[in-house]
Each structure stands twice: as C-alpha cells, then as structure tokens.
Amino acid sequence: MDTKKYDAEKYEFYIKNAERNRRQKIYAVLTLIIGIFFELLVYYMHVSFPNSLIGGIPVFAVIVWSLIVIHYVVFLVIGGSWALDLKNDQLQEWNKNAG
C-alpha cells in the first residue's frame, strides 16, 4: 500500500472535501432544528400535564417509543451515514486495501 499517496488522499477526503463538509453542516443545522421542536414538545407536555397527551401511560409510551425509534433509525443510522458519506468512504482504495 502506498501510504504517502493514501495519506494525501485521505486528507483531501476527510478534511478538505467540500461535499462532506456541506453534509456535516446540514446535519448540525438539522439537529438544532429538531432539538428546538423537541424542547417545545417537552415544554408543552410539562406545563399542560395532566391535560396533555401524556395523561395516560400507554399514550405517553407510544409517543416516546415512536419518537426515539424513528429518530434513531432515520436521523442517526441513515442520516449519520449520509453526513459522513460512509458509502463513498467504503469505496476508497485505502479501505479496500486495509487489513
């Protein structure tokens, strides 16, 4: 493996790549937006208890489970992999040749 060549390519790919950096900025901004909506939801449920949707455990549980599972799958697994451009990363020569 040509280490020097791969070092230069890795630097371009992981640090200087404009497309990767753009994706990461979008991901950070989306986190902030989702975070603001999340805080509003928590605040609403907090101040309007017990008249809000979370008056009963089943409804509360369904809301919490749905939100966290959807968020994990869509935002963390799919979104994180997109933000890091993992698909493209796996195609790079240094990953193909590694170990």
Partner 1 sequence: MRSVFIMSLVVLYFVVCIGLALYAKRSEVKGSKKDYFVASGAIGSVILFLTALATAFSAFAYMGQMGMVYNYGSSAIWNFFHYAIFSYPFFFIIGSKLWYYGGKYGYVTPADFIVHRYESGSPMRFLVGLIICVYFSIFYIVIQIKGCGWALQEATGISSPLAMLVITLLLALYVALGGMRGVAYADAMQALLLVAGILFIAGFMITREGGLVNLFAKGMAADPTILQPKQPFKEIFSGGLVMALSMPLWPMLWTKYYSAKNMKAAYSVGTGCGLGTVIVTVSLPIIIVCGLKIAYPHWESGKADVLIIKYALELMPPVLAALIVAGLLAAAMSTAAGLILLVSSVFSVDIVEAVQKSTSLKLSEKQIVTSGRIFVVVIMLISFWLALIPLGQLVKIGIQMAYPGYLLAVPLVVGGLWWRRANKYGAIWGLVAGLITLYITIFVTKNPMGIAAGIWGLVVCSVVFIVVSLLTKPTSDKTLREFGLIK
How many whole angstroms separate alpha carbon 75 and alpha carbon 78?
6
Smallest distance, partner 1 to C-beta of residue 20, A: 9
Smallest distance, partner 1 to C-beta of residue 84, A: 6
Give the x-and-dash track for 3-32 against partner 1 (CB under 8 A). Answer: ----x--xx--xxx-------x--xx--x-
* Residues 53 to 92 in contact with partner 1, rule: CB under 8 A: 54-58, 60-61, 64-65, 67-69, 71-72, 75-77, 79-81, 83-84, 86, 89-90
Contact between 9 and 92 (Cβ < 8 Å): yes
